[in-house]
Structure 1
Amino acid sequence: MADTQVPAESKVSLNRLHGENRFETAAKVATEGWETSKAAILASGKQENLVDALTAAPFANSIDAPILLTNGADIPEATIEALKTLKVEEIYTVSGAIKKDALEKIFKENNLEIVIKEELGGKDRFETAKNIASHLDDVEGIMVTTAYKYADALSVASIAAAKNIPILLADQDGLPEIEAAYLDEIKDQVKATYVLGGEILISEEVYEELPGTDGESKLRIFGDDRFDTNLEVLKTFTDLEYSKVYVGNGYDEHLVDALVVSALAAKTNSPIVLAQKELSKKAEDLLLPKLGEKSIVAVGGTTAVTDKALTFNHVRPQDFAVMQASGVNGYNVGLQIVDGSARDLASVEVTLYRGETVLAKNTSMNKLFNSYPTATQLSSPFNIDGNFSADGYWSYGKWNGSVLDVPTKAVIKVTYLDGRVYEVVNTKLAGNPEDLNQEALNHVKAEDFGVMQASGVNGYNVGFSLVDKLPVDLQSIEVSLVKVETIKDEDGEEQQIKETVLATNTATRAKNAKLFELTGQQLSSPFNIDGSFENDGYWTYGDFNGTVEDVPTKAIITIQYQDGRKFTVQNTELTGDAKLLAAPAIVSGLAEELTVGETVDFAVTTAPNSFVAEPAAATTKVRVKITLTQGKKENMVLQYLENDGTYQALPLNAENSAFYGPETGFPFLNAASQFKVTFSEAGTYKYNLEVVTVAEEGQQSEVLASTKGEVVVTKAPAEGNE
């Protein structure tokens, strides 16, 4: 088996083009992409001169030439060696920083018979862009990017080159005169205009002046940042068939790598992906369907693009799906070994997550590699109803959840015999997870899930029925109330699901024997939100983890048979009004501002809410008490509506209070009572409203609900005044 291994370093080097510095990297790219080349393009590799070469890729591709770098007017040894290896006969320069006299002197000193074919570098970046564009024949489109942010031009460089489209640089006020004149010359043949960047970089006024019709022959391509814009470029030009994918670091100090690889990328019909040292999940999701057997090539050293960006060259995710076959009721996770087969692996670890919670983890065993040594396609099944026993292929991890815990991602970690480790993630679950619960319905069925206000319960009741067994056949039952919330991220876009367990009731044969002695198949579990019950022999009641505002979204019922099998069902259809679980309430409809002498109507409404759950609620009688806590009662006339339709005065007593309703009281109901009030003096009047029980002899009244109110009374404006 050792003879089949390829050393780690050689494998990595096949997927990376780099040298000790940018000049060596450019030379490596050139000699990798061309055996020989009659022509080459020289660009200054200095950061301050990089802009001169932004637009060079289309011309380089048109003459099938690599891009090599100078150190300003000096030519590094790596560039000289590349010129010799490629047997270059003529060069084009694309920067004013490269001096013809200095080049000719260096060529002579190194015995290079190379002709300086043409100097395309102009007095500024705009003239250079125009000079390069003028050397393209049969142009049918243009790319326009900002002249002051390099990433967009290099992001699109290989695609522009492959399509023979020149790249023009826009100033803040539009295309400079020299580029505008060139565009005027070719405008009749331009069939497509692409603008890279949003309106901050290239204004709408500039966009409108460019040839083409918006949305048809003219398109603006941009994202939230340079990396998103790069991906939007790839999404736009879907007609390109990738041969390879070149990955370069997208930050300014490393963009020169994207420059030097742009000609090779165009030559191999490949895109350049800008990365932040490694590929983002969005980039991986976009690239994976297009890769086939094609490889990713990193440009630059590992400090610029990490080896992790090359993971798809070694292992790739495949189907991640619901599985119901071969005794499996759960999920299956597939993977592909790209640069070897099972015999080259030391281990495979497959983990299912829900959010950041591990649901289950499978680890490979020797039989997997010994039985299928040449296999490149592997898969790992997960059974949610119970574990498989280790079968020599996989050691199966315990399922940490229920059938209702749907995995959001599968993480695959592969370790090779030579020590290399690669990890891939699959977030695209196929199939319907609800299908996995069909077996559970043969054993347990969710019944009523509703608001409950009876038998001393103010909360919820969860009903369920046993289909093929009796309680005596069970080992345990667990019933949970869960609140599900949708939470947006900081950008207000991507949504996450947050689940909170509000309460859990449990029953086990040891603690709750009464429940398992029942002879019926219909069972239920109550939840009191005002406080848990004491253990009654049927259930062990969990505390309610929330307030009346926390309304459960679903009830989850899990039963376990004595043979260890578990089955879970849920009910998401809550019936009843959860608002009724709130405390009893009384509400005043009196306005907060009135004028002297004004008679106004208002209503006082009462709502017993959770009081109806009290055992004594049906027999308790109440009255409503009104108390004036600020202001003189002599300045207020209060009336209430009798049953006969007439209003009667409601005078306040010595304690500034009054009751309405019969002395024997009335049932506490959802009701509204009508009043009239008139104030004869200006001022601030405050009052309390209370629902008070009618006490029997020797007992004290109880306040069931109360509220406070305030009304400011002002004098009416004098006649004729505003």
Structure 2
Amino acid sequence: MKKTRARVLSSVIVATMVLGTAFPAAVLAGTQVSSDSKTSLNRLYGEDRFETAAKVATEGWETSKVAILASGKSENLVDALTAAPFANSVDAPILLTHGTDIPEATIEALKTLKVEEVYTVSGAIKREALEKAFKENKLEIEIKEELGGKDRFETAKNIASQLEGVEGIMVTTAYKYADALSVASIAAAKNMPILLADQNGLPEVEAEYLDEIKDQVKETYVLGGEITVNKKVYEELPGTDGESKFRIFGDDRFDTNLEVLKTFTDLEYNKVYAGNGYDDHLVDALVVSALAAKTNSPIVLTDKELSKKTEDFLLPKLGEKSIVAVGGPTVVTDKVLTFNHVRPQDFAVMQLSGVNGYNVGLQIVDGNARDLASVEVTLYKGETVLSKNTSMDKLFNSYPTATQLSSPFNIDGNFSADGFWSYGKWNGSVLDVPTKAVIKVTYLDGRVYEVVNTNLAGNPEELNKEALNHIKAEDFSVMQVSGVNGYNVGFSLVDKLPVDLQSIEVSLVKVETIKDEASEEEQIEETILATNKATRANNAKLFESTDKQLSSPFNINGTFENDGYWTYGDFNGTVDDVPTKAIIAIQYQDGRKFAVQNTELTGDTKLLAAPAIVSGLAEELTVGETVDFEVTTAPNSFVAEPAAATTKVRVKITLTQGDKEKMVLQYLENDGTYKALPLDAENSAFYGPESGFPFMNAASQFKVAFSEVGTYKYTLEVMTVAAEGQESKVLASTMGEVVVTKAPAEGNE
């Protein structure tokens, strides 16, 4: 019966739920690269930056009357930062030169594109060298204009002056290039010049240009925080803060890049161009900026790979669109291109067709099921694997043209292998909610892609309704009785007796909110403080019980020996590690699992601490000063001891350093008067009657004065009053120190 259910389940989920869902057809090609071109639909790169620029140009333009020539040297890269808007205005690619000569890749691109005019955007590019190179290579190209100025600021102004109908500006620092390249394609698409600021504001040459166009500027965008472009510069720019003037920045260049994408919501995302965001490789983002503007597409900066935040932002915007890597696999890894091949879809709570658990969907983008060798879907809680499903041949044979697939996970039990999936065992209970689904797809040609989905939809609590028909949480409280100093977790069986169970597991869990210092994101961290287990094989006594009401104790001071009822786990923490919840998980002999939790801890956890004595005496005093101080005692966990109620104690005070003759100590009597408490020959004194007093939460009042400068050290101990023939025990102790100084002379305070 179970096998039949699993077979029907798979066909319902895969065919009805997934294949019947409306998704766009997959139209993206693969990443095969021809050996001679280094070009693919998903990656543009060459042997060096010059060849990469040439590949970008010939990919984006069949022919182009105009080309922009920029210096390919790293030290001159800044000259071309602002070139993208002008390149887009004349519909021209950006090509790179050495400055004094033109690389072969650039020459070939100029020929292929049939370029007739060039603009140079760097003073490092010399007219004489260009004219010589053109002549030697039989190129009839006119140097239309040299826009490179005496410095980066004049170059930015010269380029900006070429733009017509400007209604907005972008401003960024002149000394860090990543921010300018983050916004280059957007500035180009919006016909906004990119101006460069230093710490004192816009240099005069740019300020003059801005003064000429300020009346037509409707929007101003500043890239970078106040450290990058300071407040003074921002305030001097045209526009009203928050209305027509905006600052865009993040924690680093990659975060700033993401904030740029979030700001400009009108991008069409016809493609997404991904380039390495570090300074040594930013030239790739530069050369693709004109092509990105041409297709109204953004440039995403990567740290070789996309951040999870960037992936989450891009995924819903991609649709049928692709990511194109600019640069080789060593600077932008193939992992960036994963969404061109497989994408996560639904990851949701599922209660349908016999499933009480989760469903994980995926989309095959550049093919269909018949192109796959295997699919592996894994659910994780943190870094712990909850379950893993592995595809079987029937999945691909039954739905060879499917581009959408999904895999179900049942938390109440496992499906038998049904030809569609080999279902993994659920490693946990209903209360173990997955934090991510990892999908690993292997193609028949050996390509392997892995995607992660952390966006769980639905309410996991809905999955636990069935558990309440079998098990109920009862008391969860602080416990100090029968030798236990810790906690007790109670529960009851609803429809069965212990004899019907295979195992019981009770855990104490501490839940904390941890803030990641690097990302400043808050994460939930769960720590299992202790787990008690009972199985039919090892704890027979428990399963012989006919009582539906059960409980499990936890001792924070140590564990109990196996007593036939429970195998007691070590307490993983201290008295300060207070459990947030108790989880009770049961398994029936037929394999079904159910779990409930209790988050309502009752009782005073402070009582679990070790007995304590605390001194309120100040650490610094002056000679001749008489001060009041208080000594408090707290029995805490000692009250769990059977003899606590009858045990009598006294407080022993010992001066371990200093002259007792220079100290006067007094205690407060019941009649409200203070009496002397002299130290004996061993520098000790006992407080309290010889017969002792009950160890309890109490505060005792003292006075002390010192007649000589010095350092005085002391020990306070709570001692049991021993019966004849027995020794006293120290139940609690503390040490203190007082530095006594000479009182200041009158008038010298």
Which aligned pairs between 1:57-456 and structure 2 lie closer than 5 A?
57-456=84-483
Range 177-186 or range 48-57, more displaced: 48-57
* CA 142–597 in structure 1, closer or farther in 2 if over 3 Å, else same: closer
CA separation in 1, counterparts of 2:521 and 2:727? 57
Q: Is the 8 A contact 1:449 1:463 kept in 2?
A: yes
Is the 8 Å Cα contact of residues 8 and 420 (structure 1) preserved in structure 2?
A: no
Call closer, same or farther: CA 1:669–1:31 in 2, change over 3 Å: same
Aligned pair 1:532/2:555, yes or no?
Answer: no
Q: 1:700 aligns with which of 714, 727, 730?
A: 727
RMSD (Å) for aligned C-alpha atoms: 2.8
Q: Is the 8 A contact 1:580 1:610 kept in 2?
A: yes
Q: Distance in 2 between matches of 1:499 and 1:279?
A: 28
* Cα pair distance change 1:529/1:207, threshold 3 Å: same
Equivalences for residues 413-562 of structure 1 within 5 A: 413-491=440-518, 493-562=520-589
| CA distance in 1 between partners of 2:272 and 2:598 (Å) | 48
Q: Is the 8 A contact 1:583 1:608 kept in 2?
A: yes
| Structure 2 CA distance for aligned equivalents of residues 718 and 179 of structure 1 | 69
> Per-residue deviation at 1:461?
1.0
- AA matched with 2:488: N
Q: Counterpart of 1:482 in 2: which secondary structure?
A: strand
Q: What does 1:563-574 align with in structure 2 at a 5 Å threshold?
A: 563-574=590-601
**Residues 611-656 of structure 1 deviation map (CA, whole Å, 9 limit, x = unaligned):** 1111111222333344455566666655544444455555556655
> How far is the alpha carbon of 1:338 from its aligned partner?
0.9
| Cα distance change on mapping 1:196 and 1:517 into 2, 3 Å | same
Q: Aligned partner of 1:572: which letter?
A: T
Supply the distance in 1 between the matched residues of 2:711 and 2:717 (Cα, whole angstroms). 20
Contact 1:54 1:259 in 2 (8 A): yes
Seen in structure 2, the aligned counterparts of structure 1 residues 492 and 37 have a Cα distance that, compared at 3 Å, is closer
Tell me whether 326-335 or 634-643 shows the greater mean CA deviation.
634-643
Q: Distance in 2 between matches of 1:162 and 1:669?
A: 78
Distance in 1, matches of 2:107 and 2:658, equals 100
SS in 1 for 2:425: coil
Distance 1:178 1:599, change over 3 A: closer
CA positional deviation for 1:433: 2.0
Residue 32 of structure 2 aligns with an amino acid whose one-letter code is: E
Q: Please tell me whether the aligned partners of residues 5 and 418 of structure 1 are also in contact (alpha carbons under 8 angstroms).
A: no
Deviations 1:207-238 (A, max 9, x none): 22211222222222222332222222111111
Q: For residue 9 of structure 1, give the secondary structure of its aligned residue in structure 2.
A: coil
Correspondent of 2:609 among 570, 582, 596: 582
- Output one character per residue of 1:33-73: Cα deviation in whole Å (capped at 9) or x when no partner: 22333322222333333333222211121122222333324
Q: What SS does the corresponding residue of 1:234 show, helix, strand or coil?
A: helix
Q: CA deviation at 1:120?
A: 2.4
CA contact (8 A) 2:410 2:426 kept: yes
- Does residue 56 of structure 2 align to residue 42 of structure 1? no
Q: Is the 8 A contact 2:28 2:321 kept in 1?
A: no
Note closer, same or farther for the CA distance 1:284–1:713 as it changes in structure 2 (3 Å cut).
Answer: closer
Matches of 1:468 and 1:422 in 2, distance apart? 47
Match of 1:9 in 2: 32
TM-score for both structures, normalised by structure 1: 0.92
CA distance in 2, matches of 1:200, 1:596: 54
The alpha-carbon deviation at position 256 of structure 1 amounts to 2.3
Task: Please say if residues 31 and 41 of structure 2, whose CA atoms lie closer than 8 Å, have aligned partners that are also in contact.
Answer: no
Alpha-carbon shift at residue 464 of structure 1 (Å)? 1.1
Question: Partner residue of 2:8?
Answer: none
Q: Is the 1:43–1:53 contact (alpha carbons within 8 Å) kept by the matching residues of 2?
A: yes
CA distance in 2, matches of 1:172, 1:639: 68
The 1:610–1:30 alpha-carbon spacing in structure 2 relative to 1, beyond 3 Å, is same
Change (3 A) 1:665 1:311: same
The verdict on how the C-alpha distance between 1:394 and 1:119 changes in structure 2, with shifts beyond 3 A counting, is same
Cα deviation, 1:448-499, whole Å, max 9, x if unaligned, reads 1111111111111111111111122222212122233333334371334443
Q: Give the letter for the 1:326 counterpart.
A: S
> What one-letter code is carried by the residue in structure 2 that aligns with 1:9?
Q
Distance 1:38 1:549, change over 3 A: same
Change (3 A) 1:473 1:35: same
| Equivalent of 1:614 in 641, 644, 664 | 641
- Structure 1 CA distance for aligned equivalents of residues 735 and 261 of structure 2: 64
Q: Which is worse superposed, 300-309 or 340-349?
A: 300-309
- Could you report, residue by residue, the CA deviation over 1:332-379 in whole angstroms, capped at 9, with x for unpaired residues? 111111111111111111112222222211111111111111111111
Give the Cα separation in 2 of the matches to 1:561 and 1:321: 27
Matching residue of 2:23: none
Q: 1:107 to 1:589 in 2, by over 3 A?
A: closer
Mapped to 2, the partners of 1:61 and 1:650 lie a distance apart of 93
Q: Deviations over 1:115-173 (max 9, x none)?
A: 33333233332222222211211101111122232222222111001001011122343
Q: What is the correspondence of 1:18-37 to structure 2 with a 5 Å cutoff? A: 18-37=45-64
Letter paired with 1:444: I
**Is the contact between residue 5 and residue 344 of structure 1 (CA under 8 Å) also seen in structure 2?**
no
Residues 374, 390 of structure 2: 8 Å contact kept: yes
- Partner-residue secondary structure (3-state), 2:457: coil
Whether the aligned pair in 2 keeps the contact of 1:323 and 1:329 (CA below 8 Å) is: yes
Distance 1:47 1:688 in 2: 70
Contact 1:690 1:706 in 2 (8 A): yes
Shift of 1:331: 1.4
Aligned counterparts of 1:700 and 1:106: Cα–Cα separation in 2? 104
The DSSP-based 3-state class of the residue aligned with 2:46 is coil
- Deviation of 1:306 after TM superposition, in Å, equals 2.2
Given that residues 593 and 711 in structure 1 are in contact (C-alpha distance below 8 angstroms), is that contact kept between their aligned partners in structure 2?
A: yes
Displacement of 1:587: 2.7
Query: CA distance change for structure 1 residues 372 and 616 in 2, over 3 Å: closer, same or farther?
Result: same
Taking the aligned partners of 1:36 and 1:232, their CA distance within structure 2 comes to 35
Which amino acid letter does the alignment assign opposite residue 636 of structure 2?
Answer: N
> Which deviates more, 661-670 or 264-273?
661-670
TM-score normalised by the chain length of structure 2: 0.89
* In 1: Cα distance, 2:656 partner to 2:323 partner: 80
Indicate the SS of the match to 1:13: coil
Deviation (angstroms), 1:666: 3.0
Identity between Structure 1 and Structure 2 (%): 88
Distance 1:323 1:190 in 2: 53
Number of residue pairs matched by the alignment: 719
Deviation larger for 634-643 or 148-157: 634-643
Q: Quick one: distance in 2 between partners of 1:529 and 1:213?
A: 62
Q: Is the 8 A contact 2:174 2:196 kept in 1?
A: yes
